[in-house]
Structure 1
Amino acid sequence: MRLCFSRLSFLVALAALVWLAGCQGAPGNKTGETPKGKIQQAATEVRFEKFTLPNGLQVVLHEDHSDPIVAIDLAVHVGSARELPHRTGFAHLFEHLLFLDSENLGYGGLDEMNTRIGGEGTNGFTTNDMTQYFQAVPKDGLEKIIWAEADKIGWFINTVTQPVIDNERQVVKNEKRQRVDNQPYGHRWYIIGKALYPEDHPYNWQVIGSLADLDAATLKDVQDFYKKWYVPNNVTVTLSGDFDPVQAKALLRKYFGEIPRGADVKPMAPRPSGLKQTKSLYYEDNFATVPELGLVWPTVEQYNKDAYALDILASYLGDGKKAPFNQVLIDEDKVTTSLSIFTDHNELAGEFYILIDAPEGKDIDTLTRSIDKAFQRFEQTGIPQKDLDMLKTGAEVDFYDNLQSALGKAIQLGQYNTFTGDPGFINTDLKNIQSVTREDVMRVYKTYIKNRPHIITSIVPKGHPELAREGAKLAPIIEEKIVQGAEKEIVIDHSKRDFKRTPSSFDRTKEPPFGPAFDLPAPKVWRDNAQNGLKLYGIENRETPLVYFDLRIDAGMNRGHTDKPAVASMAADMLLRGTRDKDRAAFEDAMDLIGADISVGTGQEAVSISGSVLARNFDKAMDLVAEMILKPRWDKEEFDLLKEEAKNTLVSGAGDPAVVAGRLWPTILYPSADHPYHYTLSGTKAKLEGVGLADLQAFHKANYTPKGAYLLIAGAIDKDGVKTGLSRLGADWQGEKNPDIHLPLSKTPDQAKVYFYDIPGAKQSILLMGAPALSGVDPDLP
């Protein structure tokens, strides 16, 4: 897996690992409200307390005293699925509006307050079925965030005027142009939704809605939507973190308790797609440079027993070297280098997806035989028990990984309560995955996939309809016509607060004070060296049974050559493609068996080998890292595949305006073609052609040394355990420190400059603005 990172000091990087090695909560308080709350504890120790206020607001409390942080999540049970035809996009519009203003916070007050009190920032998202708003702050800001979030629910709607709606509508339009209209394959989800679900089905339209519907929205429409859905009996408030539950409940009663209950909200029953026959559609995409085939089957709603087996099926078919689709389409038939298989289960229905890129200029029909072959291979053997067990181990790691922060748990507990009525389903979810059998996986394949009606999409480059699936019909896409100056400028004086005030039993206009001051705990960082000189920095944290690690090696782009800039990143990528003792499939199996997730990333000044593993298997994970470094396989077929993937990435990105802007940026900061930072990781297509396997081997031999490298560890392991686990890496990996490199810095221009790059047919402009900053070794850097 490729990632890019800027140079970080080891303390900053270690702090990131500490955050990841976060927290599992302590028991909640034993008191409750109506109905009487009680502590609930599952085997996984995710404890919570749930109670309901008289106005119907459901509250979930999760104590987590590992860090002086408190997070709050508002989960509103309304998404695009609860909209009406011809009034779409309202749920997403509300997500925007609620961040703008409220009677007592004031315009922009939510973000301003969060920043001022040291919060992590405010955020939110809208799905088909719910909208969530959340933030996390130091624990002395507890009352402040409860006050602020209550203001959004009970003291918001009077600040909304028609000009406010008109202005935010333009913001939403711009978001659609950015995420849909101006992206390769951006209309994919619209095509699928319209084809898969009948017109009156709530999943027929997209969350962002129709621009025509948004244009027609009136103030009354917005007020009616708010009164129907943004009521306390349709909201779950989750508090997670370091707080006193007695105080928290008193504050929640104070600030949320007097918001009037709304009309009862009727639950929505699952509603399958009802697709009766296969449909094949195509679309000519202005930004696509290679054809994309999509196959979509209707399945079941979230938390349905079959949903878990379908998740396993998707992972087995498409993840890893041994996956049937990768074996057939990539390794054997070589008809693609890029495919993904995944599921999407929602409250009312679900889908099973296969997305495959065809090579540049190739007909999508060339994929058909290979797809059939891959399915036939699966049918012959099903999923082996060993592979099923490995996927379950991965699910266990993912489960613990999602418990690493107070904010993450607040969001998850809110979601589970919204959809199941039980926050404790956070524990049941993992058990349901672990109960899936081989027979379940084959059964859901035969029930929902094999010979079942589905949607076929062919998204092809503009002007090449002949590359679409034979017999496909043109998809009915409504494209916005961009007219310069058509949008009216909307001027709003936010200093005028002439709305009608919503009554309250106390003065809400004053922001609450901070809670008691506290001493910020500093994690105890231990330092040591392995016997080969590798520097070690660690923090012991036993709140989840995971260990996170990040090995930084001085082998970044700065060590490469400008005639072949891709060498550094390709040499790193090859480390995950097998060792002398294990081919790629066997190496992936070895990781999966111990619950390890290892990735490799290349930056300008370093390579990072990072990941996580169950603590009990740390030594085995480090043995695998040692194998990667000491015994890379340098398999010629894997190298050829990696090179082809890099070429196809360059081709496919050439149609994405945001990617194009990102590729041009380093050429502006470092205009000399003799500077390694002039290039992106893969360099140019012409320079990539000249890269050979021998180049990667030579780069690895010259630059992968423990001297100058350092390993960061955070998690459920002490220093002695780390050093024991590093016995092989610390003893067998030898080498001297690389010579220092001093590259020219990017020069600050004498005056501001503007660069233009034309993307024909673009619906929106991409703006990048910046200037050279201090280098990582500048004495003025804090």
Structure 2
Amino acid sequence: MKSFQFLTLPILLFTVFVSYSQKDGKTAKSKEFKVEFEQFTLDNGLKVILHIDRSDPVVAVALTCHVGSAREKAGRTGFAHLFEHLLFLESENLGKGGLDKMSARIGGSGANGSTSRDRTNYYQTVPKDALEKMIWAEADKLGYFINTVTDPVLAKEKQVVKNEKRQSYDNKPYGNNFSVINTNLYPENHPYHWEVIGSLEDLQNASLQDVKEFYNRWYVPNNVTLTIAGDFDVKQTKAWVQKYFSEIKRGESIPKMEKQPVTLTETKKLYYEDNFARLPQLTLTWPSVYEYHPDSYALEVLATYLSRGKKAPLYKTLVEDQKLTDEVRFSQYNSELTGQYILKVVAFDKTDLNTVMNGVNEAFKNFEKEGISQQDLSRIKAGQETDFYNGLSSVLGKGFQLAQYEIFAGTPDFINQDVKNILAVTTEDVMRVYKKYIKDQHFIATSFVPKGEANLALKGSVLAKVVEEKIIEGKEEAFDASIAATYAKTPSKFDRSIEPAYGKSPDVVLPSVWKDKLSSGLSLFGIENQEVPLVEFQLQIKGGMLLENASKIGISKMLAELMTKGTQNKTPEQLENAIESLGATIKASATDESILIKGNTLAKNYDQTMKLVQEILLQPRWDAKEFDLIKQSTLSQIQQQKADPNNIARNEFRKLVYGKESVLSNNRIGTENSINSISLTDLKDYYNQNISPVVSDFQIVGAVSKAEVNRSLADLNKNWKSKKVTFPAIKVADAPESSKIYFYDVPGAKQSVIRIGYPALAATDADFYPADIMNYRLGGGGFSSQLTQELREGKGYTYGIGSSFDGSNTKGPFAIYSGVRSNVTYESVNLIKEIVDQYGANFNANDLDVTKSYLIKSNARAFETMDSKLEMLYEISNYNFPNDYAKQRENTVKNISIEDIKKLSKKYLNTNKMIYLIVGDAETQLKKLEQIGFGTPILLNKQQNIN
């Protein structure tokens, strides 16, 4: 994936269906929701799908190419994904970094991509006035790209993809699990035998000629679907598509790949001692079915029923009864040619995975006896309906949905058959597919265990083959990616080098915010939005970790989790069933500064959902069994974090930034000592002292009016008794007087995780937003930022890097964050320091123009989704921002000058007064960091292996 997070699974897309509800023994249907579209095909074979949605002045544009890792050759794996990266770098008329640069100027969401086994997506959401620019740019990428790829560019991007593999596979717990599964589930000649990202050896061996052959075979109009969804003129858009895409030549015909199901003749058991794992993990994988196979619908219900929730047989056996784990995950991974069915359990410390396997078999036997009830089937379908509407809250989601049907079902109109297939699932179907695909069937079992704990693996397991990269100092290929390609431009009927003009500037209308305050002291903030029949809300109870005793950190998180585990009148299972039967979700969590009860529900079920919220809040069950489960789960999370370099960096950086005297220096989930010391009485005391309406805000967005919200809260307002809550003064350390380098040793780490920063600003400080503007071109602007351009695009040191100011009512840190190849740790830190040092002095008119253009134009899509509207209410309620703060910030952007940026840089970007933290391999990297000039690095942990 081009962004900083790689997706190994296909994008989950959305299906329209009709929910059922049970009433008096009869089944009633809810109203069917349809996504309308128009489809046509150009003479060169390009398929085009158009969908109109005028709810926001934005348009999503996506190119979906029907090629993924399944179309690769053995020995040339990873090409589809490598090619996805290359396609963003340059094209004949966009120039170097053209799409990323243009994205910043036009206020786009950031051009991005993803690769799966069977397709590659390129997508972005932009303000509607930039639609012609996007069509021009996507056509240039498809038809006018390949001449710009040079050997140095290829060499650089190989390094970026390698860094992605290290970050996503080699430098994290269980990162190589799916590679072991797939190489053993699929034979060597099967196109799913290798991972989407490919092997590092194959990537290194890829030649420029290989890349050109891949492009000429697969990146042709007759293998591509263009989807445009949002607010646009259909007639004009068709003309633009014809103009920019029609002269791209059709390629050779693309043969349809036949389905290739696999059958296992034996059960295979494999194990691997994972350098980054602290807990044993068991994964069971069965051969399954391809996308949209008739049995896939019942299999989806089966996976949900077996693993999710209190009634789930696997949860009851493994979590509640045998206390072997805190979670069971069961899911389908269906692709175009075939699929796999995956059950995953991360067990508690020192747990024998044979015991887990016995528990799985016991749960399966219980399911065989009891089956699934019609009531449970209806409950699962109600949740699916809400999930569907959530997916439609963005134009990009709608566009992806239509493209998915076109690519894998042959037509976007398959939506109607999909509906029928989902609704046709019966309880008998669920049991039938269990017997067909799971019961007594062969499977792949992988046991990933901590170093030195092979005795925990399943009996009869053989050592899995895992290829681990060796990173050697000074052995990386040298390149200069800035060297321009020389070529004859591809001829065209018109001058494609001229970027199209903007269309009519969209009128950005901020959501209308309403406010109220109830007699109990509860503050209300709302936005009515009738786009989809959904309501999303959160009740914020201020406090969180701020109100905890330093010796008992973790109380608020445990309390939040316990609040949804039953009420005085409902057992945990009864409460869960009541929520899910409404097609709703209600979750509670804790942050540094709050406890949040968040919900999402169909508008028609909003009142009933709020009655459950009131019951959860005012009638806690204090279930001792659930408390014990939460405690064990939390201890397990703490153990897992100790093995993950990114979590280590986050937790150590907090300590260094906030200082020992601040409660904010703690990891909010606690430590082993604090969690073991917490009792149920401690949770009750926190609840009785700190859960009060006078420190609470209710934020709500969706298809519900202010009057309806007030009515829904009348009983809560009456019954929730107010109490005074006293907040202690929060201490935050000052910025260091001089920089120091801190090092946390993770022996054998393939990457070094970098955190650089200091305690800077609160969100309420006058300089906070101006500093955020200043940071856009440094590291806050994604691919348009200097840090990304230099360390990723220029050097290939990293997969991703960024910087940000993070504050609340309390001063928070400025931070630069990245993961880099371990043997360029010193070089990366030194380059970051140079970039930051020179940033203010070198900031120029072009930097200012790009910054202003992005921050102003991106307002068109700033409040498109319900989540973004809820975030707007959060900022208004917590920081006392005015309702139109977005417009006021727009004025700040318009009025800011180069000189202002220079002053802000001088004030807030002093690299000689920052904390430098490196989490990596001390044996090879620590000594070299002395060359930075901040003295001998301070080792935070003694030499140790993470096992």
Q: What's the TM-score once normalised by structure 2's chain length?
A: 0.77
Which residue in 2 is equivalent to 1:28? none
Which residue in 2 is equivalent to 1:524? 512
CA–CA distance in structure 2, aligned partners of residues 311 and 442 of structure 1: 12
CA–CA distance in structure 1, aligned partners of residues 86 and 250 of structure 2: 21
Determine whether 1:648 maps to 2:648: no
Determine whether 1:772 maps to 2:759: yes
Which residue in 2 is equivalent to 1:731? 718
Question: How far 1:489 sits from its partner (Å)?
Answer: 2.5
CA–CA distance in structure 2, aligned partners of residues 338 and 753 of structure 1: 41
Contact 1:746 1:772 in 2 (8 A): yes
Range 94-103 or range 728-737, more displaced: 728-737
CA–CA distance in structure 2, aligned partners of residues 398 and 542 of structure 1: 17
Determine whether 1:552 maps to 2:540: yes
**3-state SS of paired residue (1:771):** strand
Question: How far 1:740 sits from its partner (Å)?
Answer: 4.3
Which residue in 1 is equivalent to 2:438? 449
CA–CA distance in structure 1, aligned partners of residues 757 and 413 of structure 2: 47
CA–CA distance in structure 1, aligned partners of residues 513 and 418 of structure 2: 35
Question: How far 1:399 sits from its partner (Å)?
Answer: 0.7
Which residue in 2 is equivalent to 1:717? 704
Contact 1:43 1:427 in 2 (8 A): no
Instruction: Report Cα offsets for 1:434-461 as digits up to 9, x if no partner.
Output: 3211000000000000000110111111
* Matched AA of 1:705: S
Superposed, 1:129-144 pairs within 5 Å as: 129-144=118-133
* Matched AA of 1:403: L
* Matched AA of 1:629: L
Instruction: Report Cα offsets for 1:168-220 as digits up to 9, x if no partner.
Output: 11111111111111111111011000110010001100000011211221111
* Matched AA of 2:327: S
Which residue in 2 is equivalent to 1:669? 657
Which residue in 2 is equivalent to 1:638? 626
Question: How far 1:541 sits from its partner (Å)?
Answer: 1.5
Contact 1:318 1:341 in 2 (8 A): yes
CA–CA distance in structure 2, aligned partners of residues 223 and 148 of structure 1: 20
CA–CA distance in structure 1, aligned partners of residues 584 and 754 of structure 2: 39
Which residue in 1 is equivalent to 2:609? 621
Instruction: Report Cα offsets for 1:135-162 as digits up to 9, x if no partner.
Output: 0111111111111111110111000112
Which residue in 2 is equivalent to 1:34? none
**2:740 aligned to 748, 753, 759, which one?**
753
CA–CA distance in structure 1, aligned partners of residues 128 and 340 of structure 2: 41
* Matched AA of 1:662: R
CA–CA distance in structure 2, aligned partners of residues 175 and 651 of structure 1: 25
Which residue in 1 is equivalent to 2:776? none
Which residue in 2 is equivalent to 1:152? 141
Superposed, 1:305-454 pairs within 5 Å as: 305-426=294-415, 428-454=417-443
Instruction: Report Cα offsets for 1:121-144 as digits up to 9, x if no partner.
Output: 111100001000100111111111
Determine whether 1:683 maps to 2:640: no
**1:542 aligned to 517, 527, 530, which one?**
530
CA–CA distance in structure 2, aligned partners of residues 486 and 686 of structure 1: 45
Question: How far 1:737 sits from its partner (Å)?
Answer: 4.5
Which residue in 1 is equivalent to 2:494? 506
Determine whether 1:658 maps to 2:649: no
CA–CA distance in structure 2, aligned partners of residues 761 and 338 of structure 1: 29
Which residue in 2 is equivalent to 1:259? 248
Which residue in 2 is equivalent to 1:27? none
Contact 2:659 2:732 in 1 (8 A): no
Instruction: Report Cα offsets for 1:244-286 as digits up to 9, x if no partner.
Output: 0011111111111111111111111211112221111111111
Contact 1:555 1:607 in 2 (8 A): yes
- More helix, by proportion: 2
Superposed, 1:232-243 pairs within 5 Å as: 232-243=221-232
Contact 1:412 1:426 in 2 (8 A): no
CA–CA distance in structure 2, aligned partners of residues 202 and 510 of structure 1: 41
CA–CA distance in structure 2, aligned partners of residues 425 and 739 of structure 1: 58
Determine whether 1:570 maps to 2:566: no
Unaligned runs of 5+ in 1: 1-23, 25-41
CA–CA distance in structure 2, aligned partners of residues 447 and 691 of structure 1: 47
CA–CA distance in structure 2, aligned partners of residues 363 and 442 of structure 1: 30
Which residue in 2 is equivalent to 1:31? none
Question: How far 1:497 sits from its partner (Å)?
Answer: 4.7
Question: How far 1:68 sits from its partner (Å)?
Answer: 0.4
Instruction: Report Cα offsets for 1:55-78 as digits up to 9, x if no partner.
Output: 110000001111000110110000
Question: How far 1:427 sits from its partner (Å)?
Answer: 5.1
CA–CA distance in structure 2, aligned partners of residues 753 and 407 of structure 1: 45
Q: What's the TM-score once normalised by structure 1's chain length?
A: 0.93
CA–CA distance in structure 1, aligned partners of residues 255 and 632 of structure 2: 53
Aligned residues: 740
Question: How far 1:337 sits from its partner (Å)?
Answer: 2.2
Which residue in 2 is equivalent to 1:70? 59
Which residue in 2 is equivalent to 1:102? 91
CA–CA distance in structure 1, aligned partners of residues 410 and 513 of structure 2: 41
Question: How far 1:649 sits from its partner (Å)?
Answer: 0.9
**3-state SS of paired residue (2:329):** strand
Instruction: Report Cα offsets for 1:7-42 as digits up to 9, x if no partner.
Output: xxxxxxxxxxxxxxxxx9xxxxxxxxxxxxxxxxx9
Instruction: Report Cα offsets for 1:301-322 as digits up to 9, x if no partner.
Output: 0101101111110100100011
Which residue in 1 is equivalent to 2:911? none
Question: How far 1:362 sits from its partner (Å)?
Answer: 2.6
Which residue in 1 is equivalent to 2:847? none
**1:270 aligned to 234, 247, 259, which one?**
259
Q: Residues 780, 737 of structure 1: CA spacing in aligned structure 2 closer, same or farther, 3 A cutoff?
A: farther
**1:462 aligned to 451, 463, 469, which one?**
451
**1:601 aligned to 589, 600, 606, which one?**
589
Which residue in 2 is equivalent to 1:215? 204
Contact 2:61 2:226 in 1 (8 A): yes
Contact 2:143 2:248 in 1 (8 A): yes
Question: How far 1:433 sits from its partner (Å)?
Answer: 2.2
CA–CA distance in structure 2, aligned partners of residues 130 and 192 of structure 1: 21
Question: How far 1:473 sits from its partner (Å)?
Answer: 0.9
**2:215 aligned to 226, 239, 244, which one?**
226
Unaligned runs of 5+ in 2: 1-15, 17-30, 770-947
* Matched AA of 1:635: D
Which residue in 1 is equivalent to 2:679? 692
Superposed, 1:46-61 pairs within 5 Å as: 46-61=35-50
Determine whether 1:187 maps to 2:182: no
* Matched AA of 2:567: T
Please provide the CA RMSD for this pair.
1.5
